[in-house]
Amino acid sequence: MKLWPQKRWKKVLLIILLTFIIVSASLLAYASFVMNNDVISELVIKSPQGSKTALLLYHPGLSSFSHDVSYAFADGLIQNNWRVEITTPSIEAPTDLSKYDLLVVASNTYGFSPDTPTTRYLKRIGDLKEIQVVILTLGAGSALESQQSLENMVEAQNGTIIKSILVYSMAPNEGGKSPTELARETAIVLG
């Protein structure tokens, strides 16, 4: 039995197939790495003179979607005189939440679940000590299971959910709004 085909067109076809498999496996490995690993970022402080302080956490993910939505939400809070500290849910993110009035968790959805760095961060904090929490569940289309998982985790850890919204990059958002418009308006309404 010969593994390598004798006809030229079969050789070309086999080479194309093997190349496709190798490239696909490499892309999947890269995507998995990006989705599951902490991204350490500096703590960005917006509106330092604000009267109340919010900690906003987001994982950058595979595109600028989570960054754009998170910063739009921060802009809405700032319009209501909030000081907003923004960072990623990494080992270097603050875990002592006593100086914050609000925790905002923006989590990407991968495979119907919240991103791993966000869930690891919430587990690392443990007891949320009844801090008010806003959950922004980000997804391309279907993210209800991810939203429910985040809500369950926050409630189990003594967080007080004051708002939980789904923000889609591809599916229609509430009121037909753009993702950033929805995030900004939600923050403004929270006041």
Nearest residue to 190 via CA among 173, 155, 165: 165
Please report the pLDDT score of residue 124 as a whole number: 94
Which CATH number does the domain housing residue 83 bear? 3.40.50.360
116-171 pLDDT, tens per residue? Answer: 999 999 999 999 999 999 999 999 988 999 999 999 999 999 999 999 999 999 98
In a domain, 133, yes or no: yes
Range with top average pLDDT, 28-37, 77-86, 108-117: 77-86
Count structural domains, the chain. Answer: 1
The span from the CA of 19 to the CA of 23, in Å, is 6
In a domain, 18, yes or no: no
In a domain, 26, yes or no: no
Q: What are φ and ψ of residue 102, in 5° steps? A: -150, 140
Q: Residue 148 is part of which domain span?
A: 44-190
pLDDT at 106 over 80: yes
The span from the CA of 147 to the CA of 145, in Å, is 5
Give the CB-side neighbour count of residue 72, counting CA atoms within 13 A: 19
In a domain, 93, yes or no: yes
The span from the CA of 107 to the CA of 165, in Å, is 11
CB 109 within 8 A of CB 69: no
Please report the pLDDT score of residue 118 as a whole number: 96
> Which two three-digit tokens encode residue 177?
């709004």
The span from the CA of 157 to the CA of 126, in Å, is 6
